[in-house]
């Protein structure tokens, strides 16, 4: 398995002193720094926002916040190794980078634009040569940890660094009543099969939008591995007040049909189940967060149908519950599966209102996987803590870039 080295990275004492002294200032301005950084980076390299970065996350500010949080968390750890090692954070970033084909050479470009932003925000009088050198060391310690992990991920996938993009042909599309399209693809090149994956992983899907941009989005895999296909389920993100319709989900819903070719990447993602374990699983989701759980259940149905599994899903109503019929059908194939539903709309056979885990008995030795929107994740995490579930058994998947300063962070 790939891993992040957990030994304390070394920051030389004189650098540590300067970082400790300037961390409060950098921390106070880190959101501004990352906002200026992306503006500078995309000004200098427009191809990066057109074809690599998610411009929805930029528009919403999620990605600058995630980068700010990652830098602040990592720097904080370097000057206070008593803090927990940010291995989970590095792993999440590394898998995301690998699923986008990020390579070591690109770290220099990011470094140069990030440091230009730091100087622009804090001023050259504050960012003296000595301060810049200390933060340069922080940057490269973090970058090297990521580069090393990403290198391991590419080696494991058996590809050259960044060579993760594949052409795939759509072999099926099934529309779910909750506004979700389930798309199954196989390799467009019959001589090269699509790779295997671990339940809980995702792929990136790239589409060429009408303005010429190639935008990539991640989608969790909803099929069992083993037959050479990859299936993912896309929820159409509709326009709402002040928020335009989602670009890629709308394009996929409007354009993708059987026989079409799509650009996808190899599967990555570290919030996977331990397929060797026989201990119980608890799968908790809300809304489109159901997708990784469906992938896990498909795996169990094919390979471990006797593993005890408690499935908990929360939604507004049965009509908005993605892949509801498929979940029911999986329940008939999984004799050790228990299903608990929470709908805000009163519904027979389901709990009424918002998810309340105190109504359930959670197996003490279970691994708990959780996926949903940020507010839901925070609430579930608190409820799991109250129920005495140890942190290391809680695995949280989030569909937006993670702000590690919030309490919803995956562990």
Ligand X SMILES: Cc1cc2nc3c(=O)[nH]c(=O)nc-3n(C[C@H](O)[C@H](O)[C@H](O)COP(=O)(O)OP(=O)(O)OC[C@H]3O[C@@H](n4cnc5c(N)ncnc54)[C@H](O)[C@@H]3O)c2cc1C
- x-marked contacts with ligand X along 377-406 as a string, rule CB under 6 A: ----------------------x-------
As measured in angstroms, the least distance from the Cβ of 227 to ligand HEM is 29
Query: Which stretches does DSSP call E strand in 177-303?
Result: 180-187, 202-208, 214-220, 230-235, 261-265, 281-286
Does 249 contact ligand X by CB under 6 A? yes
Smallest Cα–Cα separation from 405: which of 54, 83, 4?
Answer: 83
Residues 407 and 256: their CA atoms lie apart, in Å, by 37
Residues contributing to the site for ligand HEM (CB under 6 A): 48, 52-54, 57, 63, 66-67, 70-71, 92-93, 96-97, 100, 102, 106-107, 110, 139, 142-143, 146, 401-402
- Burial (CB < 10 A; 0-12, 13-18, 19+), residue 360, is middle
107 an active-site residue? yes
- Kindly state the helix (H) or strand (E) to which residue 96 belongs, with its residue range: helix 87-98
Nearer to ligand X, 60 or 169 (CB): 60
As measured in angstroms, the least distance from the Cβ of 71 to ligand HEM is 6
| Residue 256 contact, options ligand HEM, ligand X, none, Cβ 5-8 Å cut-off depending on partner type | none
Alpha carbon distances (Å) from 273 to 292, 364, 366: 10, 17, 11
Residues 306 and 238: their CA atoms lie apart, in Å, by 39
Nearer to ligand HEM, 69 or 281 (CB): 69
As measured in angstroms, the least distance from the Cβ of 24 to ligand X is 31
Alpha carbon distances (Å) from 280 to 188, 210, 275: 38, 47, 11
- Kindly state the helix (H) or strand (E) to which residue 394 belongs, with its residue range: strand 394-397
Residues 10-69 that bind ligand X (CB under 6 A): 54, 56, 59-60
Does 218 contact ligand X by CB under 6 A? yes
Can you tell me which of 291, 309, 383, 402 binds ligand X, judged by CB under 6 A? 291
150 an active-site residue? yes
The catalytically annotated residue of 38, 77, 139, 150 is 150
46-64 b/e with 16+ CB inside 10 Å = b?
eebbbebbbebbbeebbbb
| Residue 60 contact, options ligand X, ligand HEM, none, Cβ 5-8 Å cut-off depending on partner type | ligand X
Phi/psi for 204 (5° steps) reads: -100, 145
Phi/psi for 280 (5° steps) reads: -65, 160
Can you tell me which of 217, 324, 326, 395 binds ligand X, judged by CB under 6 A? 217
As measured in angstroms, the least distance from the Cβ of 200 to ligand X is 10
Does 117 contact ligand X by CB under 6 A? no
Please, what sign has the CA dihedral across residues 83, 88, 92, 98? positive
Nearer to ligand HEM, 106 or 250 (CB): 106
| Residue 234 contact, options ligand HEM, ligand X, none, Cβ 5-8 Å cut-off depending on partner type | ligand X
Residues 69 and 93: their CA atoms lie apart, in Å, by 12
The catalytically annotated residue of 38, 107, 139, 299 is 107
Active site residues: 107, 150
- Residues engaged in binding ligand X (CB under 6 A): 54, 56, 59-60, 202, 217-220, 232-235, 237, 243-244, 246-250, 269, 288, 291, 399
């Amino acid at each position: 398995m790939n891993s992040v080295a957990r030994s304390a990275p070394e920051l030389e004492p004189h650098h540590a002193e300067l970082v400790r002294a300037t961390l409060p200032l950098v921390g106070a301005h880190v959101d501004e720094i990352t906002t200026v950084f992306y503006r500078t980076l995309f000004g200098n390299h427009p191809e990066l926002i057109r074809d690599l970065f998610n411009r929805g996350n930029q528009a919403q500010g999620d990605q600058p916040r995630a980068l700010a949080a990652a830098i602040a968390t990592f720097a904080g750890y370097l000057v206070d190794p008593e803090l927990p090692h940010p291995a989970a954070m590095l792993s999440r970033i590394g898998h995301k980078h690998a699923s986008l084909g990020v390579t070591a050479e690109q770290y220099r470009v990011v470094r140069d634009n990030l440091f230009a932003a730091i100087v622009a925000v804090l001023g050259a009088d504050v960012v003296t040569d000595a301060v810049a050198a200390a933060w340069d060391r922080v940057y490269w310690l973090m970058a090297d940890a990521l580069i090393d992990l990403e290198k391991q991920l590419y080696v494991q996938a058996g590809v050259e660094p960044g060579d993760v993009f594949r052409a795939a042909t759509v072999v099926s599309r099934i529309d779910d009543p909750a506004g979700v399209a389930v798309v199954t693809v196989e390799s467009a090149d019959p001589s090269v099969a699509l790779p295997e994956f671990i339940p809980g992983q995702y792929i990136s899907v790239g589409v060429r939008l009408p303005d010429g941009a190639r935008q990539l989005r991640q989608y969790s895999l909803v099929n069992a591995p083993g037959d050479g296909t990859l299936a993912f389920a896309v929820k159409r993100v509709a326009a709402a007040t002040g928020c335009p319709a989602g670009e890629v989900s709308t394009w996929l819903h409007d354009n993708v049909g059987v026989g079409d070719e799509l650009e996808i990447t190899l599967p990555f993602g570290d919030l996977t189940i331990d397929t060797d374990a026989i201990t119980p699983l608890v799968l908790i989701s809300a809304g489109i967060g159901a997708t990784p759980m469906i992938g896990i259940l498909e795996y169990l149905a094919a390979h471990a149908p006797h593993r005890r599994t408690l499935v908990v899903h929360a939604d507004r109503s049965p009509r908005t519950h993605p892949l509801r019929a498929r979940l029911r059908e999986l329940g008939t194939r999984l004799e050790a599966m228990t299903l608990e539903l929470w709908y805000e709309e009163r519904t027979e056979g389901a709990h009424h209102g918002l998810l309340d885990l105190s109504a359930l008995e959670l197996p003490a030795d279970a691994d708990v996987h959780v996926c949903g929107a940020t507010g839901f994740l925070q609430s579930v995490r608190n409820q799991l803590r109250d129920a005495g579930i140890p942190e290391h058994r809680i695995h949280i998947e989030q569909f937006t870039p993670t702000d590690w300063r919030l309490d919803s962070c995956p562990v």
